[in-house]
Amino acid sequence: MNEILNYIDSNKDNFLGELIEFLKIPSISSEEKYKPDVLKAADWLANHIKSIGISDVKVHETEGHPIVFAQWLEAGENAPTVLVYGHYDVQPVDPLELWDSPPFEPVIKGTKIYGRGTCDDKGQLFAHLKSIESHLKINGKLPVNIKLIFEGEEECGGEAIEHFVKTNPELLKCDTVLVSDTEWYADGLPSICYGLRGISYFEITVTGPDRDLHSGTYGGTLDNPVNTLCWLVSQMHDKYGRVTIPGFYDSVIPLTQRERDGYKLLPFNEEHYCKELGIKATNGEFGYTTLERAWARPTLDLNGIFGGYTGDGAKTIIPSKASAKLSMRLVPNQTHDEIAAKFEDYIQKLAPETVKVDVKYLHGGNPFMVGLESKSISAALEALEEAVGVKPVFMRDGGSIPIVGLFQIILNAPTVLMGLGLPDDNIHSPNEKFDLRNFFSGIKASAIFLDKLAKI
């Protein structure tokens, strides 16, 4: 391993230069106009995989954005097989004016690299390619069989990979899934994430009159779609911050005492948390700490709302319609299908007959949890400790990586979430960044992990 680690140390500048090339491609998957860039990123990735010595690479066309799949199976039948997952698409960049530097022109300041996708997920994905490259360069082979699957729709629904996984279980068969798309609990504190939340994401549209009306002439005579939408949404929580959808909590696995005790030992400072977000106080479901609510409790949040006049000054209209983007974060063992159905039933039950209420299911993903006793988890724990020099902690993450829930069902292999991000990396926000120390120690941890897996 030492030679491999030395190779990594000697090639930092090369690795970084290649990453910057990758980051410059504006692969925003949710916006139609970037479709060619998403394709470009997929092709770039496929070519890069070939260049590091894996020739069996294919860019699979899908109904949406392509899936890059590659494999190197020369370790033989007796060696374990690791499936590495990542995504090469990125979030939109608006509000653009809040970025200190252009999102697709990466800039390095101190130990950080700034740009869209640096942390989520191009930088993290790339760490594994560099780990594989290091093994291949030094030994001409890998200690385990490797399958790589990189998708381009993680930020916009991930329907293509869902279909791909469901229809290709043999191709993807493996013993361990390795994913870096989460974060450390804190700077300098490496972490293994053992749970993720799922998601059900909707768009609701309330339509009243067939055109905008003069609010003087008509105000008071009919239900205003914007008021009605606000009322509908306000009905989704009770005064204790609980979601009111009937049956919403039925399948939720309660937090264990071990988990609650463990979370209390983590360095969490409520005051610092508020200050960092610019809020006066946290708030949410009654009876749970902030960390518990973020990691292990389901939620319902509006992600956007729009309707009527939104320009400067005043326009006196009753808008014809209004829409909201609304998503629920789910925890084990809720499923997104179950929750989506309950949500739709509830909305239709609440919807007044005076307006038209359309509910559109944009996407969903299941929550995930892995047993802490798994051998893959132990190997990851040791690899991270050796690479970073600090004993990792166990944590969950409030975010969703829907495909991880599906891997669990289809592939029946433990998933190791060896995230490399930091909590203040501004993913999905302006000035997204990635700590290069985590990038380089992540490459090493990945390389050590593959080695350890081969020896289990």
Binding mask 108-147 vs a second copy (x if CB under 8 A, - otherwise)? ----------------------------------------
Give residues 55-114 in contact with a second copy (rule: CB under 8 A).
91-92, 94-95, 98
Q: Are strands 176-179 and 415-417 parallel, antiparallel or unpaired?
A: parallel
User: Total binding residues for a second copy by CB under 8 A?
Assistant: 99
Q: How far is the CB of 396 from a second copy (least distance, A)?
A: 11
Reading the block at residue 420, the tokens are 């490399």
Distances in Å between the Cα of 376 and the Cα atoms of 129, 177, 179, 197, 407 are 19, 9, 12, 21, 15
Is residue 398 part of the contact set for a second copy (CB under 8 A)?
Answer: yes
Nearer to a second copy among residue 76 and residue 313 (C-beta): 313
Give 391-454 as a DSSP string: --EEEEESS--HHHHHHHHHH---EEE---B-TTS-TTSTT-EEEHHHHHHHHHHHHHHHHHHH
| Residue at token pair 């990125």 | 90
Which residue among 58, 109, 211, 264 contacts a second copy (CB under 8 A)? 211
Nearest to 115 by CA among 88, 86, 97, 90: 90
Catalytic site includes residue 21: no
Catalytic residue among 120, 133, 154, 397: 154
Give residues 322-361 in contact with a second copy (rule: CB under 8 A).
322-325, 327, 329, 352-356
Catalytic residue among 37, 89, 120, 121: 89
Binding mask 232-251 vs a second copy (x if CB under 8 A, - otherwise)? -xxxxx--------------
Q: How far is the CB of 329 from a second copy (least distance, A)?
A: 5
298: three-class secondary structure by DSSP: coil
Name, in order, each residue with C-beta under 8 angstroms of 117's C-beta and a sequence gap of 6 or more.
23, 27, 90, 123, 432
331-348 exposure pattern, b = at least 16 Cβ within 10 A, e = fewer: bbebbbebbbebbbebbe
Give residues 16-55 in contact with a second copy (rule: CB under 8 A).
30-32
Q: How far is the CB of 240 from a second copy (least distance, A)?
A: 13
Nearer to a second copy among residue 142 and residue 204 (C-beta): 204
Residue 156, amino acid? C
Q: How far is the CB of 393 from a second copy (least distance, A)?
A: 17
Nearer to a second copy among residue 137 and residue 163 (C-beta): 163
Nearer to a second copy among residue 17 and residue 423 (C-beta): 423
Q: How far is the CB of 448 from a second copy (least distance, A)?
A: 28
Binding mask 150-189 vs a second copy (x if CB under 8 A, - otherwise)? ------xx--------------------------------
Give residues 213-232 in contact with a second copy (rule: CB under 8 A).
213-224, 226-227, 229-231
Reading the block at residue 416, the tokens are 């190791």
Nearer to a second copy among residue 129 and residue 232 (C-beta): 232
Nearer to a second copy among residue 53 and residue 241 (C-beta): 241
Nearer to a second copy among residue 36 and residue 219 (C-beta): 219
Piece of 11-19, 109-117, 278-286, 377-385 that binds a second copy (CB under 8 A): 278-286
Nearest to 392 by CA among 335, 449, 353, 307: 449
Name, in order, each residue with C-beta under 8 angstroms of 404's C-beta and a sequence gap of 6 or more.
85, 177, 179, 196, 368, 415, 417
Name, in order, each residue with C-beta under 8 angstroms of 231's C-beta and a sequence gap of 6 or more.
none
Q: How far is the CB of 285 from a second copy (least distance, A)?
A: 7
Binding mask 280-309 vs a second copy (x if CB under 8 A, - otherwise)? xxxxxx----x--xx--xxx-xxxxxxxxx
Piece of 9-17, 46-54, 72-80, 424-432 that binds a second copy (CB under 8 A): 424-432
Catalytic site includes residue 151: no
Q: How far is the CB of 303 from a second copy (least distance, A)?
A: 5
Name, in order, each residue with C-beta under 8 angstroms of 441's C-beta and a sequence gap of 6 or more.
190, 387, 388, 420
For residues 309 and 218, give the distance between their C-alpha atoms in angstroms, rounded to a whole number. 16
Give residues 188-207 in contact with a second copy (rule: CB under 8 A).
197, 199, 201, 203
- How big is the chain, counted in residues? 456
Which residue among 181, 397, 435, 451 contacts a second copy (CB under 8 A)? 397
For residues 65 and 39, give the distance between their C-alpha atoms in angstroms, rounded to a whole number. 7
Long-range contacts of 184-187 (CB under 8 A, 24+ apart): 184/419, 184/420, 184/421, 184/422, 184/423, 184/438, 185/266, 185/267, 185/393, 185/395, 185/423, 186/267, 186/422, 186/423, 187/422, 187/423, 187/424, 187/435
Q: Which residues are catalytic?
A: 89, 154
